[in-house]
Amino acid sequence: MRHIIATWLSLLAILLAGTTGAADTKPTLDLYAAYALTGVGSTFGAVEANGTLLAVETFNEKGTIDGKKVRLIVEDTQGTNVQTLNAVRKLISFNGARIILGPTWLDSYQSVLPVVDREKVLLLTPSGAPIVFKKSAEQYSLAFSTWFNLEIEVEVLLKQVQRDNRKRIILAFDQDPFFQTIRAIVQRRAPALGLEVVSDNSFDLSGADFKSMLVTSSRAKADCALVGFGSESNLITFLKQRKELRPILPLYGTDYLDGYVSQPEWAPLFENVSYISPRIRDTTFAERYRARYKADPVLSASTAYDATMILLQALSSNKQTPEAVRDYLLANEFSTVTFGPVRFNAWGGIQSSDFVITKISDGVIARQPVL
């Protein structure tokens, strides 16, 4: 229900922004975005639309670009590979977009990458890890991301597993590129931290059953599980079967769980769960976001705000082409609400990241920054 409300707020806000732009006779500069306002990725896409609109409103209150106020135009990717491609193609062919914020989950919906590479269109996504959608720093040189550094995130999570004195791990991930990359990093880094993967499992994105894995894990004397499910149905099925078969098995996960743990109907399923999520440096951002949307800025809200502000800074510096914006992003340091001062690395990603470990025990949600 929370992501449905957030989606409605995003759609309403963007609708109002478009109406304002249409009623104003002054020229505007159009800013294009491709976000999942509906579908499986809407928990991310809705807050991305909110974060981007908040950035546009903040910018318009203080200034213009060449005398023009900024108008936001968002195309819904609907949380699928096909519709992500269609949304980006529409922005390119119909709107003439050469620079696009998004798309949501670029690392999962990579079908757009050959198209934008061929058309020389720059993407700046708030929710995609370059290590997932690039094989090298040189590939897709116009694709950038303000999402958190995934390798650092997994390393910090594994060190938390180590601090909790867990040693024998089950891996349970669905066959999404993002989670399969996490799985590969865990496999590579676990031995150096004294952690043993005793059961390694990948599941189809829909209709998976986890009972056999949970029973087998007990025989293997696993003392925790690292899990990642882009499919909501898989996540809920896994949590229900774990509650039935291995209720005290500790679970570890990543930031996507932020979209679920506070929902009352699912709270009993998250007992003895720990997960890592981003820490937003600027606490005033959360206050501004809540004042605007009456909701917390979870998931990629802040990274969307930052992506938008960074792009507006580039455009204000007279960087109007995709190539000029790319060079500007790689050459400068940016002030962000998420990371503080930050630079892009050669892969087009964020060099450093801060995180929070959230633990749910006896129904209590406790968050602690990782120092």
* Residues 170 and 33 grouped into a single domain: no
Of 70, 125, 66, nearest in space to 100 by CA: 125
* Residues 297 and 224 grouped into a single domain: no
Q: Which of 70-74, 85-89, 295-299 has the lowest mean pLDDT?
A: 295-299
pLDDT tens digit string along 294-341?
Answer: 999 989 999 999 999 999 999 999 999 999 999 999 999 999 999 999
Q: Helices H, strands E: what count in the chain? A: 12, 14
- Number of domains the chain contains: 2
The residues with which 358 forms a beta bridge, in sequence order, are 275, 367
Residue 5: pLDDT band (50, 70, 90) is very low
Of 133, 192, 160, nearest in space to 355 by CA: 160
- CATH assignment at residue 188: 3.40.50.2300
Domain assignment of residue 119, given as a range: 2-147+281-342
pLDDT at 213 over 70: yes
Give the dihedral sign, CA 305/309/311/315: positive
pLDDT tens digit string along 166-190?
Answer: 999 999 999 999 999 999 999 999 9
Q: Which residues are CB-contacts of 360 (< 8 A; sequence separation ≥ 6)? A: 261, 270, 271, 272, 273, 274, 366
Is residue 154 domain-resident?
yes
pLDDT at 18 over 60: no
pLDDT at 21 over 90: no
* Residues 129 and 170 grouped into a single domain: no
* The pLDDT value given to residue 370: 85
Is residue 347 domain-resident?
no
Q: What are phi and psi of 98, to 5 degrees?
A: -115, -15
pLDDT at 220 over 60: yes
Is residue 21 domain-resident?
yes
Residue 1 vs residues 7, 47, 188, 264: alpha-carbon distances, Å: 10, 14, 38, 10
* Residues 37 and 135 grouped into a single domain: yes
pTM across the whole model: 0.89
* The pLDDT value given to residue 40: 87
* Residues 312 and 257 grouped into a single domain: no
pLDDT at 110 over 60: yes
* Residues 132 and 155 grouped into a single domain: no
CB 261 within 8 A of CB 273: yes
Is residue 20 domain-resident?
yes
Q: In whole numbers, what is the pLDDT of the chain averaged over residues?
A: 91
> Which tokens go with 161?
């597993």
* Residues 307 and 180 grouped into a single domain: no
* Residues 305 and 219 grouped into a single domain: no
